[in-house]
Chain A
């Protein structure tokens, strides 16, 4: 008989024969997750593009999303859950040890692909590992640490327990700052037990899907919704904007809130949600949403900022479609540039860039009595709480946000996604409600990096000293405000680069179109501005007849200098130290390229430099973090760590700071949160602020806790603490005290001692010319890119990136390197391949992000120029890792070939067309 019955079926998973009830066509990924509860297999695209669902079928890696259950029956399926037997496998221990997992969403896929390789070839070369792992995408790590973990896993073979023990021994270190410490939350990531947005399911949950606009701009009317519901058994209810009990308008900046959770009669961008369906999972999955009763009247769409400025406004209160204009001006740049000995000018146009984290937005909502609880991936739990409460007509206290592990964010998960939608369904039905965006939805409906049209002119005097800069940028902010105002304000502050620029005028405007909503993406517009500014700096160095590195050094900010906003940076300016660190590499790379080009044919080699800087935290706005810490009667330190760890490492770095400040080792620590019901507000994970702002709050809270303890024990400041079970021992010289915590009074939360502190970086408002103190701290970086250009095809082959970043103090060098490598990978994508086109690249095979073969060797140099305002001198890092990458690539392309690119990404066709000898 060849008709395969709908169910049941039996498959062998990790050696166990399991019965499942699912249709034979069901994707194996869905069977593993939804029927067998094996949630370690992740779903990132359902199209075989991302590889995060990689499992082994009879020992060979396959994408479980492409295998029907019927073809897995009678064969051996192995998943991440089968890797660890009692203890971590050597491969898992190696991933943990090398920091190969950041957010962890792609980790199970990599582990499975790697385990198939290692079974055949225990000591693979880097090339062999690359080939074997090429089918899995990672957006956080830049792949370097993954490659290392795989090629060196053999070193741990048979020693897995020992190696893990070595890593765990670090937790007993009395002074953990500066240790190459594997992440505290890392074991769950390498075992696949970490719970992401789609992994939290409440029994009886309704499954939710959204109906979205297929047009950039359209008026719509619903047909008979009741009839649709009746026609689909298992469908519980349909929801539209009419059902929204509160104010149907959200936004990350309250003054600009303009985005409906469900559109009301007009959709302003392709992918905007207009209705929800909720019901039993199979019934909702089986719905063909194209049959949903809605009629669209397509309206003219504005997709170009120039056009939009002259067109009717998307939002009546914003004539000319101008959302915000930002300005920084000082001196007389017009005169200075007119009188400059050397000037260069240029223009650059950039594209929408998609965050393309491997985890599409997902979450689950349910009622806890009167409180609406929402577990979802996010970067900003308290903002989610307040905005969701507003949309649903609840007081903020009646909404609890429980961030799940977040499978990459990079800025886009600062904005609401699933929260108001599942919140609405749970609130109105009383039943739990779950929603996981498809890849296409995730790409269509969430924010992008702003496309920019930039022009700038810079000039230097006869000695090569910068005299002035004029900069103008138009940013396509899409249909709704999101972080557009932030981009418009941040760009003029940063467009100068970290240089002494006495005369300056920079303007940036965020203009609405019917494009996707542009919001925050690692750097808030600064990477686009730097891609122009740093290429002009290179050309100006040439014009002045100076070496590109020496020219930058001459003009770089020093301690005591003023920035273009008139802010005096008295100490901690690390840009020159970064350039100094690159000097030997620059010399080597230039000589190498020159020698190569003497003999080369169509392939030309080039080396390019660029620097970047980044103001950490909000621009001239309050930006507090609050951290709480307590000591329990059982002798455990509990850190209420509300700084959401989206893979960047705040769970580890903030705990290291607290441990160092308290003087008790990390193995005595437990982490609570982030959870708006359990942890105080540590702000959002953005703007490179968590290590700095939340780290500083953690340091302050911990010092307060320590003081309380010392005062109680009546010992001096230098006392050493130790925990012996539930006894706290304090030693200072000959003095010794022993506190039996178990016998002491405890507060409502069970703490014998507890403290909380808030830190808000000191900034001042910018005046009408953008003068003031926008940030309390800046981070700096410089990168050197070596590459080859195939001048017959326009293809670019990266050879090496050397990156020097000033982190103030490397709290955790392992995680810091991970940030640098990941930022560079995203910079490579922005420079060479990433261009989101609504309606055309809504998947991960038409929208290209770098694969494991596109990120070359990266040498990271961590420069430590302490900033007194940072915790133990530490500075923010996340964003300036990416800022120099694209311009360094563009500079290397120009030095290799003479090609000046005016459009990003620099795809092969654009590079070829830009060659001086272009034949295209």
Chain B
């Protein structure tokens, strides 16, 4: 029985190599899962790793430490393309959870309704995984494998989330649909990113939908159809076609909504996210809103 609180990443990776641990960062998943049950006695506390709490800008990437909280994301000075991520940050629980929950935890917990995933998917985010001996990078799509399943190996820690500079461009939007205003697990959510060429036509489109499949999904067919279109809000919003563009989704019916509803609602919030993202192309300085 041990509770370990490494002070450096190297120390943490050494511990990861030497045993199986319950990893605890902000505690917002570890504790709720054990309400009314015994607490774990093999905890690796990631809370003292200042190295993981930084947001950095090396030449090719925006690098967000896995220990960065949603509150820190909201406060961070980031390019306008991070608007969707910052909007998602404001919808993760409420301020109590935003002050504690980390991006790394959100990804490693791999809930189908993880609020941060769609916004990171449209930024083409990658994750950095490190063990004592190896560091590797995976695209986010390659990292989250299923409901509560990731590609993290037992001795690895998720250390950073990397957003390619090239993808940190354009206008983004985030839409979350739930049955109440705050503290709500999504029925469906959508993030969208649009960038334009010099002629004002869509040069890059990324759309991701969450809570409508075991893992949030990009919609490549829709993205292809968006390319080359004029950035006219109404026209873009009219494009998504349930018959052609949503094959990646496999919504289930549960206490939050029927599966058939999720299909309809997902299409609708995609339309709204596209319109909103297109609208934001003209307002490049809105990230701090």
Contact = CB atoms under 8 A, between A and B. Distances in A.
A134 B2 CA distance: 36
Contacts of A286: 38
B99 A60 contact: yes
Interface string B179-211: 111111101000000000000000000000000
Interface in A818-866: 832-833, 835, 837, 840-841, 843, 845-846, 848, 850-854
Interface string A1-35: 01110100000000000000001111100000000
Interface in A52-85: 54, 57, 60-63, 65-68, 70-71
A134 B94 contact: yes
A48 B93 contact: yes
B17 interface: no
B36 interface: yes
A49 interface: yes
Contacts of B5: 2, 4, 24, 70
A841 B96 contact: no
A794 B264 CA distance: 10
Contacts of B40: 25
Interface in B219-265: 255-258, 260-261, 264-265
B38 A440 contact: no
Contacts of A846: 185, 255
Interface residues of A, number: 69
A174 B138 CA distance: 76
A46 B269 CA distance: 33
B31 A46 contact: yes
B13 interface: no
Contacts of B39: 23, 25-27
A51 B99 CA distance: 13
Contact of B183 (A65, A134, A913): A134
Interface string B267-281: 011000000000000
Contact of A135 (B3, B94, B269): B94
Contacts of A843: 32, 35
Interface size band for B: 35 or more
Interface stretch (A91-99, A451-459, A707-715, A904-912): A904-912
B37 interface: yes
Given A66-B28, A439-B35, A851-B182, A2 B94 contact: no
Interface string A756-786: 0000000000000000000000000000000
A429 interface: no
B3 A70 contact: yes
Contact of B180 (A438, A848, A919): A848
A457 to B, nearest CB: 29
Nearest to A847: B255
A58 B182 CA distance: 24
Contact of A61 (B32, B95, B184, B265): B95
Contact of A851 (B26, B35, B96, B180): B180
Contacts of A854: 180-182
Contacts of B71: 60
Contact of A68 (B27, B32, B177, B264): B27
A45 interface: yes
Contacts of A852: 181-182
Please indicate which of the listed interface residues B24, B38, B180, B265 has the most CB atoms of chain A within 10 Å of its own CB.
Answer: B180
B15 interface: yes
B6 interface: yes
A287 interface: yes
A909 B180 contact: no
B32 A46 contact: yes
Interface in A177-221: none
Given A3-B4, A135-B94, A908-B261, A66 B26 contact: yes
Nearest to B262: A909
A116 B184 CA distance: 23
A679 interface: no
A907 B27 contact: no
B203 to A, nearest CB: 29
B115 interface: no
B186 to A, nearest CB: 12
A498 B4 CA distance: 66
B97 interface: yes
Contacts of A287: 38
Interface in B141-172: none
A135 B97 CA distance: 8
A842 to B, nearest CB: 10
A288 interface: yes
Contact of B181 (A3, A27, A851): A851
Contacts of B256: 907
B268 A134 contact: no
A432 B152 CA distance: 49
B180 A2 contact: no
Please indicate which of the listed interface residues B11, B93, B95, B180 has the most CB atoms of chain A within 10 Å of its own CB.
Answer: B95
B132 interface: no
A465 B97 CA distance: 56
Contacts of A2: 4-7, 11, 15
A219 to B, nearest CB: 25
Contact of B36 (A137, A438, A793, A919): A438
A71 B28 contact: no
B78 interface: no
Interface stretch (B41-49, B54-62, B118-126): B41-49
A51 B96 contact: yes
A840 B181 CA distance: 21
B84 to A, nearest CB: 19
Interface in A115-160: 116, 131-132, 134-137
Given A62-B100, A920-B260, A4 B4 contact: yes
A235 to B, nearest CB: 14
A130 to B, nearest CB: 8
B265 A793 contact: yes
Given A66-B26, A907-B179, A135 B93 contact: yes
Interface string A278-314: 0000000111100000000000000000000000000
A284 B169 CA distance: 55
A68 B44 CA distance: 12
A60 B261 CA distance: 38
Interface in A451-496: none
B36 A54 contact: no
Nearest to A135: B94
Contacts of B177: 793, 795, 908
A706 to B, nearest CB: 51
Contacts of A54: 96
6 contacts: A25-B3, A25-B24, A46-B32, A68-B27, A852-B181, A908-B265
The 6 closest A-B CB pairs, nearest first, are: A853-B181, A135-B94, A909-B261, A438-B36, A47-B32, A134-B182
Given A70-B47, A795-B177, 10 more contacts: A25-B40, A27-B39, A134-B95, A137-B183, A793-B268, A837-B255, A851-B183, A854-B182, A912-B265, A920-B261
